[in-house]
């Protein structure tokens, strides 16, 4: 921060600016007013803050300045001149001359200038004598010129010589080129910072000048709460499903029995997904009860012997009433519940937490959000699945889709959904989908000819990309 200059100084600066056409340099202003340049820099900043009184453009210029030693010489004369002047006509013993502050340098310079001579054979020791009557101290003269700001009168060679003797240095000075502003005036009026109720009441605002705002600064953050970004994305996905006529499934059952989670999904009992490693199993409460017994029997049969047109998987099927912590397939629950009476076409969705037994790190979460959509109707085709996925992703702003054959135990055909990522310039997987296997649907009591198409994706991967 520059010290605020007082109004007197500011007005002096303004008067100087008024006198010149085309502007003036702040260094010249400093020289004219006889104050340090930094003070004028402060004044310029204060004037700028008043609005369009002046305009000031920063510039930098190089100039020559005396060093400490240079200033001493400009005042007292060069070392060689001082040595010369110290010698009386009868001469001076050399050892005495050498004791002078300028002795050493001055002696050799004066010698090379041939102003003095040394009589080594003089009785009483070596003695120094003048050889000329008078001298001209050009070094001092040149330095004094620089001191007066007239360094332009010196030749470059001369300045460089003095620089080599460490008497001059070249410095860069930042200064302002000051010109009159659009509302130039030589008097300073105090500016108001803000409009007040009193000003409005009295009408005094009409006469006042207001300090300009700094539009570069940031505003004050509003005093409010925020929704979680991931939950905002969840809201968007809910909205998309609702727009497409999908009904929300009740997924608020984190604890599910192994039967609903695996068996009803035609997941073999030896399937790796059932390994202890991936699933959270519950120790308390340990066992589930109240299964729909006839459905259970049908599921058991299709696993072990086949049926509904299937070869089965020849699993040795021992039903374990253990619990698992997942919700992926509340779906089967919901579908079974919906179709116990008479089948009507349905569209369902769910977005909720799923769980996976993992240790946490940057890329693995034990909990994440799964988005699922499902349509059950007579005669649905694979082309229908692709069509509805196209509609769904278009609502997300993703229009370039393609499908890759894949494998899921409970859907056939199964397709991985890829979209073209314009940023990465490649196809990336955005979801998984398929047509549910008849072995899964028929034991649930769905009529022949009904197909169920479904897709799933992870909510987490859409954060930062769509909202």
Partner 1 sequence: MPTVSVKRDLLFEALGQKYTDEEFDELCFEFGLELDEITSEKEILIREQGDEKAEGASDVVLYKIDVPANRYDLLCLEGLVRGLQVFKEKLEAPRYKRVSPADGGEPQRLVITEETASVRPHAVAAVLRNITFTQERYESFIELQEKLHQNICRKRTLVAIGTHDLDTISGPFTYTAKPPGEIRFKPLNQSKEYTATELMSLYKTDSHLRHYLHIIENEPLYPIIYDSNGIVLSMPPIINGDHSKISLNTKNIFIECTATDLTKAKTTLDMVVTMFSEYCEEPFTVEGAEVVYPDGRLCVYPELAYRTETLSGDFINKRVGINESAESIAQLLTRMCLRSEVSGEGDLIQVEIPPTRADVIHACDIMEDAAIAYGFNNIVRSTPRTYTIANQLPLNKLTELLRQDLAAAGFTEALTFALCSEEDIADKLRKNIAETRAVHISNPKTTEFQVARTCLLPGLLKTLAANRKMPLPLKLFEISDVVLKDETKDVGARNNRRLCAVYYNKSPGFEVIHGLLDRVMQLLDVKPGRNQGYHIQAAEDSTFFPGRCAEIFSCGKSIGHLGVLHPDVISRFELTMPCSAIDIDIEPFL
Query: Site residues for partner 1, window 303-362 (CB under 8 A)?
Result: 306, 308-314, 316, 323, 325, 345-347, 353, 355, 357-360
Piece of 63-71, 80-88, 196-204, 371-379 that binds partner 1 (CB under 8 A): 371-379
The yes or no reply on residue 218 touching partner 1 (CB under 8 A) is no
Nearer of residues 171 and 360 to partner 1, judged by Cβ:
360
Question: Least distance in Å: CB of 226 to partner 1?
Answer: 5
Nearer of residues 182 and 316 to partner 1, judged by Cβ:
316
Nearer of residues 3 and 229 to partner 1, judged by Cβ:
229
Question: Least distance in Å: CB of 350 to partner 1?
Answer: 9
- Whole-angstrom CA distances from 171 to 26, 163, 265 are 16, 12, 83
Nearer of residues 151 and 414 to partner 1, judged by Cβ:
414
The CA-to-CA distance between both ends of the chain, in Å, stands at 42
Helix (H, G, I), strand (E, B) or coil at 227: coil
Rounded to 10 deg, the angle between the 156-164 and 138-147 helix axes is 100
Q: Among residue numbers 396 through 415, which ones bind partner 1 (CB under 8 A)? A: 402-407, 412-415
Question: Least distance in Å: CB of 342 to partner 1?
Answer: 15
Rounded to a whole number of angstroms, the CA Rg of the chain reads: 47
The yes or no reply on residue 8 touching partner 1 (CB under 8 A) is no
Question: Least distance in Å: CB of 454 to partner 1?
Answer: 12
**Of 3, 125, 245, 447, which lies in the binding site for partner 1, with binding defined by CB under 8 A?**
245
Instruction: Give the whole-angstrom CA distance, residue 168 versus residue 161.
Output: 9
Partners of 455 in the β-ladder = 373, 433
Backbone angles phi, psi at 317, to 5 degrees: -105, 100
Nearer of residues 74 and 452 to partner 1, judged by Cβ:
452
The yes or no reply on residue 390 touching partner 1 (CB under 8 A) is yes
User: Within 10 Å of residue 100's Cβ, how many Cβ atoms?
Assistant: 15
List the structure tokens of 129.
Answer: 């004598």
Please state whether 115 falls in left (phi above 0), alpha (psi between -120 and 50) or beta: alpha
Backbone angles phi, psi at 455, to 5 degrees: -145, 160
Question: Least distance in Å: CB of 384 to partner 1?
Answer: 4
Classify residue 335 by burial, with Cβ atoms within 10 Å: 0-12, 13-18, 19+.
Answer: buried
The yes or no reply on residue 228 touching partner 1 (CB under 8 A) is yes
Nearer of residues 189 and 252 to partner 1, judged by Cβ:
252
Helix (H, G, I), strand (E, B) or coil at 276: coil
The yes or no reply on residue 379 touching partner 1 (CB under 8 A) is yes
Structural element, H or E, at residue 427: strand 426-436
Question: Least distance in Å: CB of 217 to partner 1?
Answer: 19
If binding means CB under 8 A, how many residues of this protein chain bind partner 1? 92
């Amino acid at each position: 921060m520059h010290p605020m200059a007082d109004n007197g100084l500011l007005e002096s600066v303004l008067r100087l600016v008024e006198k010149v056409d085309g502007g003036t340099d702040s260094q010249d202003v400093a020289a004219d007013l006889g104050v340090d340049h930094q003070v004028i820099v402060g004044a310029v900043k204060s004037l700028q803050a008043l609005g369009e009184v002046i305009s000031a453009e920063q510039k930098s210029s190089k100039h020559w300045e005396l060093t400490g030693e240079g200033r001493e010489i400009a005042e007292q004369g060069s070392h060689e001149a001082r040595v010369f002047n110290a010698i009386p006509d009868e001469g001076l013993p050399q050892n005495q001359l050498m004791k002078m502050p300028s002795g050493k340098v001055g002696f050799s310079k004066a010698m090379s200038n041939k102003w003095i001579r040394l009589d080594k054979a003089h009785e009483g020791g070596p003695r120094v004598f003048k050889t000329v009557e008078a001298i001209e101290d050009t070094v001092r003269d040149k330095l004094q010129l620089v001191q007066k700001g007239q360094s332009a009168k010196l030749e470059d060679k001369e300045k460089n010589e003095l620089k080599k003797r460490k008497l001059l240095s070249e410095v860069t000075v930042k200064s302002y080129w000051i010109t009159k502003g659009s509302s130039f005036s030589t008097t300073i009026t105090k500016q108001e910072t803000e409009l007040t109720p009193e000003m409005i009441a009295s009408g005094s605002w009409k006469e006042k000048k207001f300090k300009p705002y700094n539009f570069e600064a940031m505003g004050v953050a509003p005093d409010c709460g925020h929704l979680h970004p991931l939950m905002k994305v969840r809201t968007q996905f809910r909205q998309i499903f609702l727009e497409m006529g999908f009904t929300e499934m009740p997924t608020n059952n984190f604890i599910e029995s192994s039967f609903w989670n695996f068996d009803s999904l035609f997941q073999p009992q030896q399937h790796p997904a059932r390994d202890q490693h991936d699933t959270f199993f519950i120790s308390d409460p340990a066992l589930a009860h109240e299964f729909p017994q006839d459905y259970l029997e049908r599921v058991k049969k299709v696993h072990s012997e086949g049926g509904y047109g299937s070869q089965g998987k020849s699993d040795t099927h021992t039903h374990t009433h253990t619990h698992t912590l997942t919700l992926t397939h509340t779906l089967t629950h919901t579908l079974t519940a919906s179709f116990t009476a008479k089948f009507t076409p349905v569209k369902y969705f769910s977005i909720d937490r799923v769980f996976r037994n993992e240790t946490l790190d940057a890329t693995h979460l034990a909990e994440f959000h799964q988005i699922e959509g499902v349509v059950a109707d007579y005669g649905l085709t694979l082309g229908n699945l692709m069509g509805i996925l196209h509609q769904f992703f278009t609502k997300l702003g993703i229009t370039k889709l393609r499908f890759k054959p894949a494998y899921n135990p409970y859907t056939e055909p199964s397709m991985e959904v890829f979209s073209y990522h314009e940023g990465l310039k490649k196809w990336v997987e955005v979801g998984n989908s398929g047509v549910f296997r008849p072995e899964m649907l028929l034991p649930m009591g769905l009529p022949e000819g009904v197909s169920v198409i479904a897709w799933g994706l992870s909510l987490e991967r859409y954060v930062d990309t769509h909202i």
